[in-house]
Copies of this chain bind each other. A is one copy, B any other.
Amino acid sequence: MPIPAVKALFFDVFGTVVDWRNSIARETEAILKPKGFALDWIAFADAWRGEYQPGMEEVRTGKIPFSKLDVLHRRNLERILPRFKVSGLDEPTLANLNRAWHRLDGWPDSTPGLKRLHTKFLLAPVSNGNIALMANLARHNGFPWDAILGSEIAGDYKPKPVVYLASAAAFDLPPHECMMVAAHSGDLAAAAATGLKTAHVARPNEYGPGTGEAGPKVPVDVAATSFLDLAEKLGA
């Protein structure tokens, strides 16, 4: 099912390209366990991620000026630590914990799928993550991005239309020549409303077995089960 006009693929990253949940659990355990803390590490990851949308909503609604995701992650971390009875961490430890988001692992098909897709399309993350975070994830995993687009170049957060439109404009492409790839139907619906093509990739275990979207809940141009399947369906 090649879609001839599409020249660039835009990727949601957290959950779609990388497994934030198991990675954050592993990274936080590696930092805090040697300091004597024994938490439910998966619950800690879920709690930290649970502050993600409320934090961005303060930016989207104009309550606070645009702040990079690294800054929101840090504030969210300090909000959840007391809930897990973690205190007394020094600044280098807090900074290292926050950088756990720069060390997330891709799903097993992510890097090989992206490398195949890169032979045919311009590729960019259109994520709410900031440029440094995305650059470090790319180095950690070997993601072949052509540029890092998304929230930081737009100065706002998805699903605000400006994030999709600023990313298409950065590649000098009209929206219909760009395709948003995500495991989340809400992201795809917002992208489609700005004129982008859309591809759903199922990540059924994002929040634990059977918790993610097994398929799209909105109309999409392509539905795939992995990035390799997506490459197949897009003729790459």
Contact = CB atoms under 8 A, between A and B. Distances in A.
Interface string A14-51: 00000000000000000000000000000000000000
Interface residues of A, number: 20
A147 interface: yes
Contact of A147 (B70, B148, B172): B148
A149 B134 CA distance: 13
A138 interface: yes
A138 B146 contact: yes
A135 interface: yes
B132 A172 contact: yes
A216 to B, nearest CB: 29
B131 A147 contact: yes
9 contacts: A70-B172, A131-B147, A131-B153, A131-B170, A134-B147, A135-B146, A135-B147, A135-B171, A148-B148
Interface of A: 68, 70, 122, 130-132, 134-135, 138-139, 146-149, 152-153, 170-173
